[in-house]
Every structure is written in structure tokens, then in C-alpha cells.
Amino acid sequence: MKKFVITIVAFIVAATAVAQNTDSLTFVKAPRDLFSLDKGAEGYTLKAVEIFSSRQTISVIRYSPKRFITSIVLPEKRNRLSVTASAAGGDFGVNAGYWDVAIDRPSAFLRLGGKTLFATADFEKERVDGLVCIARKGVVVDCCKAGEEARYADKYDNILASGPMLIDEGRSIDHSHYTATMVEATHGKDFGAYYTYIRRHPRTVIGTDKRGNIYLVVVDGRAKGLAEGVTIEELTRICEWLGLTDAINLDGGSSSTMWSAQNGVVNYPCRNKKFDHEGERKVSSCIVVKSKK
């Protein structure tokens, strides 16, 4: 019996490895619909690519911090990314931090211009485990336990907490334990983790590669057969295939949006429940990128 169980486990592991390898090849070879950006940046969308036994639509912007300045922007009140980024003079951007619907304010640590504006709420501490720090030479994505963000304040004037972390210093974070421990959870705190990590949702990511390039990634969702969304584990695989060495999950769901000044909304935000570019949701904060020219 023991030998039989070991054989089954070995088969499952081998089958999973084959599936992941097939998915990675499909991802790398998938046609890319390019969209125009200023010199030093590249933008493209992979539309309805078949990976993870599903269809996924993924938009990516890669840019050099030598040519662009990255900022965290907090509007006076929640607004659409396209409005906030345009008003800030941005060339492109994505939605950013979590927010508390009940009181309409950011729900994770946020520091702007050297002033700490918000702390991480208790209900966010399950998933907030990292930081996006705006550095002189670009962006730093780093692990940080919720509640300990203030120790970074002496080094960075602009910090946004989010999570979960996906990749840290080239090491992919293992979130598989949520699959094992939360799959039967149906209520309370455990259900929240199950819903966030295991269910497929639209996702937004910021990350960096070994050359210092910065990546903005949006995976669309809630459009069956076109963009079905991904789990956190699947999102980590996408970041690996892109060559990211550090990456963090930002606010997702119907908040997930990518915009550029030249193209407008380039992904397919799902607020309007249609697979088009019109479904933006008002968000509390944004990552806005401007050319240095």
C-alpha cells in the first residue's frame, strides 16, 4: 500500500512538472500584440493564451529606470487609473494598493513624500507581507512583515505595502500550503486566505529583473474562454517566465487596470462585466510612470 501511494505521488509530481513546462513554452511562444510606448519601454498583450488549463489574457510593460521615473500616486479621492495617471502627467501605470471599502481609504501601509499616511489594517495582515519602495535608481520590492514597515522609513520616502510576495531575490515564494490547508475552509479568516490565494482572479503585479528593469503586469479575469484569471501560485509562474527576480502582488479583482497615455486602457478591466477596455473601477492609489525626457 505504501509503495502504491508513493507511486501515485511520484506520478502526480511528474505530471505537474510536464504541465508547467508545456505552459511555459506556450507562454514564451505566444503572439504578442505590441502597443506603443516611449523609448526605453516595451508594452504588449498576450490574448487568450492557453495555459493552466485555461485561457489567459496578460498585459506587460517593461521599462528602464534610467529613462523613466516611478511614483506612487494617491488622489484626493478614489478615481479611475486613467484619470489619476493622466492628471499626474504619467506616460503609463497600473492600479496599486489595497483599500478599505467601508471607510474608503487605503488599508495597507503607505508613505509618501517622507510622511507616513496609513498603517496596515489588522484584516490585511494575512496577505500583506511586502513593500514597493521608490528608490533613487528605480524600484525596490522587498519582503516585510505587516506592522514592521516603519523600519524602512529612514531609507525610503515613498513606500507602499502590499502582498503576497511572489518572488524574493530570485526565490519563488511557496504558497502551496494554502491549497493543502484552506481548500475545505468555508468561513472566517481561513476563508479569506482561501479566496485570495486559491481562487482565480484578475491580478496586478510590479516586479524587477536582474538587469534592474521594472515590470508592470496585469492578468485579466472573469471572462470565460478569454481571460479566466489566475491563482497566486499561477501568478508566480508567470513572473518566473518573465524573468523577474523580485515581484509582489498588488490589489486585483476589478481594480486590475493598465493604462498608457498613447493607448488608453490597454487591458480588459472587468468592472462592467464585459471583455472590453471600458470596465475601470475607481481605485485608491496608483503606480504612475513618467519619462525623464
Q: Which of 167, 276, 288 is nearest to 232 (CA)?
A: 167
Residues 6 or more apart whose CB falls under 8 angstroms from that of 55 comprise 48, 49, 225, 226, 227, 228
3-state helix, strand, coil in the chain (%, to 5): 25, 35, 40
pLDDT by position in tens, the chain (length 293): 555 444 444 444 444 445 568 999 999 999 999 999 999 999 999 999 999 999 999 999 999 999 999 999 999 999 999 999 999 999 999 999 999 988 999 999 999 999 999 999 999 998 999 999 999 999 999 999 999 999 999 999 999 999 999 999 999 999 877 665 555 554 455 556 556 778 899 999 999 999 999 999 999 999 999 999 999 999 999 999 999 999 999 999 999 999 999 999 999 999 999 999 999 999 999 999 999 98
pLDDT at 21: 86
pLDDT at residue 52 in the model? 98
Q: What is the number of other CB atoms lying within 10 angstroms of the CB of residue 227?
A: 25
Spell out the alpha helix ranges (H) of 127-175: none
Rounded CA separation 120/128 (Å):
8
3-state secondary structure of 39: coil
42-67 core/surface letters (b: 16 or more CB in 10 A; e: else): bbbbbbbbebbebbbbbbbbbbbbee
- What does DSSP say about strands 286-291 and 92-95: parallel, antiparallel, or unpaired? antiparallel
Q: Write down the H helix ranges in 157-228.
A: 176-182, 188-197
Q: Which residues pair with 165 in a beta bridge?
A: 248
| Axis crossing angle, helix 188-197 with helix 232-241, rounded to the nearest 10 | 30
Whole-angstrom distance, CA of residue 29 vs CA of residue 208: 22
Please give the span between the terminal C-alpha atoms of the chain, in angstroms, as a whole number.
68
pLDDT for the residue 293: 82
Q: What's the angle, vertex CA 25, arms to CA 22 and CA 31, rounded to 5?
A: 130
Per residue in 146-175, is it b (16+ CB within 10 Å) or e — as a string? beebeebeeebebbbbbbbbbbbeeebbeb
Query: What is the DSSP secondary structure assignment for residue 121, as one 8-state letter?
Result: P
Contact between residue 210 and residue 138 where contact means Cβ atoms under 8 Å apart: no
User: In this predicted structure, what is the pLDDT of residue 214?
Assistant: 99
Distance CA 91, CA 140 (A): 20
